[in-house]
């Protein structure tokens, strides 16, 4: 892509020779990658697109603030910055955490004290008015929700976070825009340029052909995948909701727009982009129009463009898909390590709750074994809960290998976590029941799903203790698994379900708001003086786990956790083979005391080991290892 003639012309665009050299070196490094990613997508249009991209990238490079340029250089010198054991994410809605962006800035000491290095603020770019899918129907990517502040407030917050070593992450909704977005308004007005940004059909011929193989995402309140728009006089592709118009990424103009948007937001201080609904970008007749090969080319091209202008930026793929598909979002084959820097490990979250309900980890083992190895330069985002529902993404193949019926186990989990199964400790709500498939997803805060809500209602101290132990066990797993653990706002205080969502008209139809409570700052202020509170006990336990994690080099994300055969189905064993020595993690997913033969761990650890979490020493030369209910051990070899 870069030849001497182009290099000479580009140098003329710079006043500073050092800037010119920096840009040209990056273009030389990544230019061919950018070109090779775009050509299969846009064919003969690629040459024109590359010229336009260079203009956009040059403009953004010149506008990049000095402190962010310094961060670019630091990240280039430490390319594994996102893989360090000290990385800890925190996920929150800005308004529910602190009211406004300035309010968030007033609580940075709290985040820093918790050990947070990565703050993901949920959708805050300007959405459509009224119902907006929790902010995922964006009307303007260059503006902030008016109730939260403005773009200068966002830049100020990003700068304050950087000063404390915390990276700001925002959602980038790629698959669709709000019906009220300027592009959609121009499309409805008949502008051919912008009509080509969307999938609009004059009659049902095209939509009906696609619908034969398309699933429904929200069958309860948004059935089908196309919506008739009277103003546009056409059927618009709307995968999620009628007011969210799917973009036509086969149009190079859409790609160019998003490169410009990414670089604009990066220059505002956004360091990590959560690529929302990434799996849906490319449409292909006769398929479910998910996980198409072109999606990975698009992501690779977007990431490469960002690498040239803002190499401090990282991409996180929001791809809640099967393991065989998920690994492609981190890169396989020619894309190895060139797609996203991080991807959600949704399977870990699902298996955590599955093992907790069943008191059995065999399915967890089989699910992890099904994952191919990831590129060593990438990382997982692992979590106990998130803003979304829990869909029981359990494959029939994994279930069969564990001796289960996939359909029956998914039904059991929905029954258990909605409180309908005899003996269930959980308090969750069924979300999006599909009678045609029997699919039922679950909403609920981590503490309520782990039994704390029911235990407090019953006034049973023993059950309260069990619930706290369950919640800490789940967090021990995500902190020990490897990757960036993502703490969901309120889980560090064991906040319960917020049933008040039903009283808010725009939230009432969507019970996922039950696990989107407002931060309880009064409770946060009590935990030091009232250590007996469940919130204080969970917070203290989590802070201890985080302190230990920061000092454990075995948890660098270039190393993957591998399943070890467990002699007891209630116990999950994970092995991490680090150059400094091996680590074996032991997790008891039951309320039972369990005894393991010490010899089951000796081959990995030697005769003596130490638990990093408790400081206890173990002799593995013979005898047994005793595990209390919901006990977690991070064992390393000892002299």
- What would you report as the CA-atom Rg of the chain, rounded to the nearest whole angstrom? 25
Query: Cα–chain-centroid distance for residue 132?
Result: 20
- In order, the DSSP letters of 190-252 are T-HHHHTTB-EESSSHHHHHHHTTPPPSBTTTB-SSEEEETTTTEEEE-SS-TTEEEB-TTSH
> For residues 468 and 537, is the Cβ–Cβ distance under 8 A?
yes
Start-to-end CA span in the chain (Å): 55
**In this structure, are residues 161 and 94 in contact, taking their beta carbons and an 8 Å threshold?**
no
- Whether residue 65 contacts residue 118, with contact meaning beta carbons closer than 8 Å, is answered with no
Q: What angle, 0 to 180 degrees and rounded to 10, lies between the N-to-C axes of helices 4-11 and 17-42?
A: 130
Contacts of 336 (CB under 8 A, 6+ apart): 375
3-state secondary structure of 443: strand
* Cβ atoms < 10 Å from Cβ of 50: 17
In sequence order, what E strands does 426-561 have? 429-434, 439-443, 484-488
Degrees to nearest 5, angle at CA 346 with 345 and 347: 90
- 446 vs 494: CA distance, rounded Å: 7
**Which token pair is 335?**
């894309």
DSSP one-letter code for 623: S
Point out the residues that are catalytic.
276, 318
Using DSSP's 3-state secondary structure scheme, residue 501 falls into helix
Token code pair at residue 304:
């490469």
Burial class (CB in 10 A: 0-12, 13-18, 19+), 184: buried
For residues 639 and 625, give the distance between their C-alpha atoms in angstroms, rounded to a whole number.
Answer: 19
Helix and strand counts by DSSP (H, E) for the chain:
24, 25
Spatial CB neighbours of 225, under 8 Å, sequence gap ≥ 6: 207, 210, 211, 214, 216, 237, 238, 239
User: Nearest-CA neighbor of 228 among 179, 176, 280, 289?
Assistant: 179
For CA atoms 89, 94, 99, 102, the dihedral sign is positive
Rounded CA separation 508/503 (Å):
6
DSSP 547-597: HHHHT-GGG-TTS--EEE--SSTTEEEEEEEETTEEEEEEEE-SSS-EEEE
Q: How large is the angle between the packed helices 46-63 and 252-267, nearest 10 degrees?
A: 10
């Amino acid at each position: 892509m870069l030849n001497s003639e182009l290099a000479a012309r580009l140098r003329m665009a710079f006043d500073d020779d050092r800037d010119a050299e920096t840009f040209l070196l990056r273009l030389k490094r990544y230019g061919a990658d950018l070109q090779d990613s775009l050509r299969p997508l846009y064919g003969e249009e690629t040459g024109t697109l590359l010229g336009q991209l260079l203009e956009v990238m040059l403009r953004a490079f010149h506008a990049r603030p000095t402190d962010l340029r310094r961060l670019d250089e630091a990240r280039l010198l430490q390319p594994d910055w996102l893989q360090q054991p000290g990385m800890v994410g925190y996920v929150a809605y800005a308004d529910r955490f602190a009211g406004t962006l300035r309010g968030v800035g007033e609580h940075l000491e709290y985040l820093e004290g918790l050990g947070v290095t990565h703050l993901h603020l949920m959708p805050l770019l300007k959405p459509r008015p009224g119902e907006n899918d929790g902010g995922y129907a964006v009307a303007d990517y260059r503006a902030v929700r008016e109730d939260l502040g403005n773009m200068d407030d966002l830049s100020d917050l990003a700068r304050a976070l950087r000063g404390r070593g915390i990276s700001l992450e925002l959602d980038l909704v790629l698959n669709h825009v709000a019906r009220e977005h300027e592009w959609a308004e121009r499309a409805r007005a008949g502008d051919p340029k912008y009509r080509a940004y969307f999938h609009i059909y004059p009659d049902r011929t095209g939509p009906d052909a696609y619908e034969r193989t398309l699933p429904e995402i929200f069958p309860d309140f948004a059935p089908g995948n196309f919506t008739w728009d009277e103003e546009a006089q056409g059927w618009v592709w709307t995968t999620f909701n009628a007011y969210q118009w799917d973009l036509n990424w086969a149009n190079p103009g859409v790609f160019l727009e998003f490169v410009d948007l990414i670089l604009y937001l990066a220059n505002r201080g956004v360091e990590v982009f959560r690529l929302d609904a990434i799996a849906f970008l490319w449409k292909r007749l006769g398929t479910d129009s998910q996980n198409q090969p072109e999606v990975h080319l698009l992501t690779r091209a977007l990431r490469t463009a960002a690498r040239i202008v803002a190499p401090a930026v990282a991409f996180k793929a929001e791809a809640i898909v099967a393991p065989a598909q998920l690994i492609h979002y981190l890169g396989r084959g020619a894309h190895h390590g060139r797609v996203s820097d991080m991807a959600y490990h949704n399977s870990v979250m699902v298996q955590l709750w599955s093992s907790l309900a069943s008191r059995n980890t065999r399915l967890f083992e089989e699910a992890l074994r099904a994952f191919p190895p990831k590129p060593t330069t990438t990382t997982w985002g692992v979590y106990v809960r998130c803003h979304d529902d829990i869909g029981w993404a359990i494959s029939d193949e994994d279930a069969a290998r564990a001796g289960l019926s996939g359909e029956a186990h998914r039904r059991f989990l929905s029954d258990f976590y909605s409180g309908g199964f005899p003996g269930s400790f959980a308090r969750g709500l069924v979300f999006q029941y599909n009678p045609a498939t029997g699919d039922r997803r679950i909403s609920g805060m981590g503490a309520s799903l782990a039994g704390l809500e029911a235990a407090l209602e019953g006034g049973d101290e023993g059950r309260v203790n069990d619930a706290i132990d369950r919640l800490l066990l789940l967090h021990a797993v995500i902190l020990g698994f490897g990757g960036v653990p993502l703490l969901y706002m309120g889980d560090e205080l064991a906040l319960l379900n917020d049933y008040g969502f039903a009283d808010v008209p725009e939230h009432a139809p969507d019970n996922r708001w039950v696990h989107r409570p407002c931060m309880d700052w009064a409770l946060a202020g009590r935990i030091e003086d009232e250590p007996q509170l469940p919130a204080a006990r969970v917070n203290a336990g989590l802070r201890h786990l985080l302190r230990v994690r920061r000092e454990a080099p075995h948890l660098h994300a270039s190393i993957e956790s591998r399943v070890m055969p467990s002699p007891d189905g209630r116990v999950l064993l994970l092995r991490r083979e680090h150059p400094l020595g091996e680590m074996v993690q032991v997790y008891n997913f039951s309320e039972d005391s369990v005894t393991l033969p010490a010899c089951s761990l000796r081959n990995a650890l030697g005769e003596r080991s130490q638990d990093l979490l408790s400081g206890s020493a173990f002799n593995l030369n013979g005898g047994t290892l005793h595990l209390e209910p919901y006990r977690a051990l991070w064992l390393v070899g000892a002299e």
